[in-house]
Amino acid sequence: DIQMTQSPSSLSASVGDRVTITCRASQSISIYLNWYQQKSGTAPKLLIYAASTLQSGVPSRFTGSGSGTDFTLTISSLQPEDFATYYCQQSYTTPRTFGQGTKVEIK
Amino acid sequence: QVQLQESGPGLVKPSETLSLTCSVSGGSISSYYWSWIRQPAGKGLEWIGRMYNSGSINYNPSLKSRATMSVDTSKSQFSLKLSSVTAADTAVYYCAREVEAAGRSLDYWGQGTLVTVSS
């Protein structure tokens, strides 16, 4: 299985901060990397697919980059509604695998 | 707007079979992969498997062949059965749609249903 490792596991930030989350795959996955946001008690929501394509309706402050094994999710200016847990997922092969999550908390 | 809704028993006894159904509305069940994902309380997401019109099915080997997925296109539903359950199978179970054209991402999710394994 392809292992996905996110860092950090959690972070504290203030509204307006720039936040970066990284995701590393144990082998090359081209650009088959997706990012999801999950708020407490709700289903994950797709933010970015194919490493850098913004899902329809997602604010432009979210950007994704990377290819191969190293990827990043950046929130350019953190908003109150962005406090959540973020997961990366590889869709290069099955079984699909997720990172362990990064919890973004209010500082 | 595509909507997915999971249904099934919230309590299953150890060693029995967990059975869940996902009802799809607002769109066709054809031409997509349909997936199951689970999440134990306070933990991360685990992919269970996906299927395409019963013709192509992939399971997570970690489930050791306990999972079986099926689809009923006439009812716009797909299902998951997980046999020989233990407490480790207690989780919120989500169904979701996988879209090839969007990097094989999961673009629509059900709200999730909690399944507890306990006697």
Per-residue pLDDT of chain A (107 residues; tens, 9 = 90+): 999 999 999 999 999 999 999 999 999 999 999 999 999 999 999 999 999 999 999 999 999 999 999 999 999 999 999 999 999 999 999 999 999 999 999 88
Q: What pLDDT digit, counting tens, does each position of B64-82 carry?
A: 899 999 999 999 999 999 9
Peptide bond before A44: cis, by omega within 30 degrees of 0?
Answer: no
Q: B38 touching A, CB under 8 A?
A: no
Q: A57 touching B, CB under 8 A?
A: no
CB atoms under 10 Å from CB of B54, counted, come to 12
**List of chain B residues whose C-beta atoms are within 8 Å of the C-beta of residue A57:** none
Q: What pLDDT digit, counting tens, does each position of B101-114 carry?
A: 999 999 999 999 99
- What is the Cα–Cα distance from A87 to A38, expressed in whole angstroms? 8
Would you say residue B88 has pLDDT above 80?
Answer: yes
How long is chain A? 107
Cβ–Cβ gap A49/B47 under 8 Å: no
Q: B112 touching A, CB under 8 A?
A: yes
* Sequence letter at residue B27: G
Asked if A36 contacts A89 with a C-beta cutoff of 8 angstroms, the reply is yes
Closest Cα in chain B to A32 = B103
Got the DSSP string for chain B? --EEEEES-SEE-TTS-EEEEEEEESS-STTSEEEEEEE-TTS--EEEEEEETTTEEEE-GGGTT-EEEEEEGGGTEEEEEE-S--GGG-EEEEEEEEEGGGTTEEEEE---EEEEE--
List the one residue out of A60, A71, A93, A77 whose CA is nearest residue A24.
Answer: A71
Cβ–Cβ gap B106/A89 under 8 Å: yes
**List of chain B residues whose C-beta atoms are within 8 Å of the C-beta of residue A32:** 103-104
Cβ within 8 Å of A, B 58-77 = 58-62
Q: Dihedral (C-alpha) B92, B112, B64, B44: value to the nearest 10 degrees?
A: -60
Q: A40 touching B, CB under 8 A?
A: no
Using the structure block, give the residue that is written with the tokens 């716009």: B76
- pLDDT score, position A12: 97
**List of chain A residues whose C-beta atoms are within 8 Å of the C-beta of residue B49:** 95
Q: Which stretches does DSSP call E strand in A3-101?
A: 4-7, 10-13, 19-25, 33-38, 45-49, 53-54, 62-67, 70-75, 85-90, 97-98
Out of A34, A49, A87, the one facing B44 most closely (by C-beta) is A87
Cβ–Cβ gap A43/B103 under 8 Å: no
- pLDDT score, position B54: 66
